[in-house]
Structure formats: structure tokens, C-alpha cells
Amino acid sequence: MTFFASLLITGLMTGAIYSLVALGFVLVYKATGVINFAQGEFMMFGAFVAAALLTDWGLPAAVGIPVTMVVMAGLGLVTERVVLRPMIGRPAIGMIMATVGLAFVFRGLAPMLWGGTTKSLSLPLPETPIQVLDVRLSPTVLAGAITAVLLVGGFALLFQKSRTGIALRAVADDQQAAMAMGISVPWAFGTAMAVAGVAAAAGGLIWGDLLGVDSYLALVGFKVFPVVILGGLDSVGGAVVGGLVVGAVESVAAGYIDPVVGGGTKDFVPFLLMLVVLLVRPYGFFGKEVIERV
């Protein structure tokens, strides 16, 4: 039982950090209808920026972390201007491929700028694990989970209550109608990308601290898909629930199956889960159902 509980709790914590990455994805999708395949690379880029600022330049975290977020928000804006804006109104496959191209660029550019070796990134957090009910938790994971909860709460509030959030939702719902109401669609896209950049920076900081900073970090981005499919592509709350479920399931499954088959379960179980969800409930737990009739 303790084994199960510890697996479950570690899984839930990891899951909370997954939802942090998924959050950026959902934000972009919600506001622009673009599937951002480069979210993982965005996060990796954020981690590289943070590593350069904190480790190489030795800036204090209180300066380095906000600067990282600003840089990533700027990168989001640039991406919107160069890649997404010309693609407004194009078919889905074009949009997807454009972000795939973007992912390639980031994955090549980051090691070109900062070298291909793994960099360390250590956040000013205590090293000793925290004991919670027989389960040892790394402070980084805990910090990640807390950040995730705070950010998600903030974004949910932003989307539901603020003028900006309502404008973004309007653009997502119908671009033409939004334009007619005087909402600037490029502005909405830019805002969404900038916010997604901030979320990616937060994810990159946490994951970079956990795994070390190199281009393999981008692979965490693929875990976003099971998370968002489970929760529903356009649901901020769904990103959290999906993240927690995926984290818990993969951790528990890995704990029991890995010794039998010799590893790798974590790369595989989330996707199996996702396929089942797609077949049974394609729009996830909280996604908006699109009904088509002849």
C-alpha cells in the first residue's frame, strides 16, 4: 500500500508539472485554434535561457527568473508575428506543420547558441527531500506543482473574468465575429503566444532543474498530447485534471510494469491511455464537443 501511495503521490506531483506545459498548449489552442507542436521546444528554449542567465552569467534567481519569462514572452510574440500571423485562415495541417517547423528551428538553434552539452540549472530550493506521510518529495517537484496550481488558477480567472480573457475567447470562437466586434485578432494571437511563452518558461525552469538542460528536454513536450486529449483540448481545468491523471497512471504503471519488461513504460502508457480516450470520448473530460450533422 505504501508503495502504491508513494507512486501515486509522486505521479500526481509530476502530473501537476505536466499540466504546466500543457497549459501553454491549451492557451494557444483556446485563443487561436492553433495546435502548437512546438510547446515542448518552447519549454526547452526557456530552460536554456534560464540556464544561461542563472548558471553561466550567475544572475540571482530573483532577477534571472523574471528575465527568462520576459524573454520567452518576447519569443512568443516574435513567433506569432513571423509564423502564425501569415497562416491565419489556412487549413489545420498547414498550421500544424508550421509549428513543427518551428520546433525544428528551436531544437537546432538552442544547442547552436548554448552548446550541445547538458547544462545544469539549479533553482534556489532546498536539496533535502520533504517527508509527507511516508512519501519523500523533492522540493523542486513540490514547487512545480504549486506553480502549476497557481498559474492554472490565474489563467482560469483571466479567461473567465477579465476583458482580455473574454476577447481571447471570442477570437477562438469565431474570428470574423470577433473582428466585427472590434477585437484585433493579431493582438489576441500575440497575447496568447506571449502568455504561452511565460507558461513555457515556468515549465522549463522546473523541468530543467529536474532533468538538466539539453535538447532532450523537448521530448517532455510529447507528453502534452495525452494530457490535453484527456482533459479536452480547450479546457484550462482539463489540462490540470489530464496532467494529474497522466502523471498518476504513468507513475503507478511504471512502478508495477517496469520491473517485468525492463523499463520504458512511462513513454508508452500515457499514449495507450490517450488512444482509449480518443476511441471512447474523443473530446476528453471537459473539451467542447463539436457535433456535425448532414
Partner 1 sequence: MIHRECGVIKTTYRADMALYPLPLARVTVVVTVALLVAVPWLLPAKYLVWASLTGIAAIGAVGLNLLTGSAGLISLGHGAFLATGAYTAANMAARLHAPFWVALPAAGLVAAILGIVVGLPSRRVKGIYLAVATIAAQFITEWVINHVTWISGGAQATVSLPPPALGPIRIDTEAERYLLILAVAVVAVVVGLNFNRSRLGRAFVAVRDRDLAADVIGVEVGRTKLVAFAVSSAYAGVAGALWAYYLGVANYEMFTITVSIEYLSMVILGGLGSVVGSVYGAAFVTVLPLALRDLLERFRDLIPVGDVATFVAQLRLVLFGSLIIAFLVTEPEGLARLWRKVKDYFRLWPFRY
Q: Which of residues 112-131 bind partner 1 (CB under 8 A)?
A: 112, 116
The cell numbers describing 227, all together, are 494530457
- Is residue 227 within the footprint of partner 1 (CB under 8 A)? no
- Is residue 267 within the footprint of partner 1 (CB under 8 A)? yes
Q: Choose, by CB under 8 A, the member of 121, 229, 236, 248 that binds partner 1.
A: 229
d(CA 126, CA 138): 9
Q: Choose, by CB under 8 A, the member of 13, 225, 232, 240 that binds partner 1.
A: 225
DSSP designation for 213: B
Q: What are phi and psi of 156, to 5 degrees?
A: -60, -45
- Chain-centroid distance of CA 215 in Å reads 16
137: which strand partners?
130
> Which residue number, 158 or 281, has a Cβ lying nearer to partner 1?
281
d(CA 14, CA 142): 9
Least distance CB 30 / partner 1 (angstroms): 13
Q: Choose, by CB under 8 A, the member of 77, 96, 137, 158 that binds partner 1.
A: 96
# residues near partner 1 by CB under 8 A: 44
Q: CA dihedral in degrees (232, 83, 41, 127; nearest 10)?
A: -90
Q: Choose, by CB under 8 A, the member of 90, 136, 161, 288 that binds partner 1.
A: 90
Q: Which of residues 12-71 bind partner 1 (CB under 8 A)?
A: 35
- Is residue 153 within the footprint of partner 1 (CB under 8 A)? no
Least distance CB 194 / partner 1 (angstroms): 19
d(CA 198, CA 210): 19
Q: Which residues contact 26 (CB under 8 A, 6 or more apart)?
A: 228, 231, 233, 234, 235, 236, 238, 239
- The footprint of partner 1 (CB under 8 A) covers 35, 82-83, 86-87, 90, 92-94, 96-98, 100-109, 111-112, 116, 222, 225-226, 229, 233, 261-262, 264, 267-268, 271-272, 274-275, 278-279, 282, 292, 294
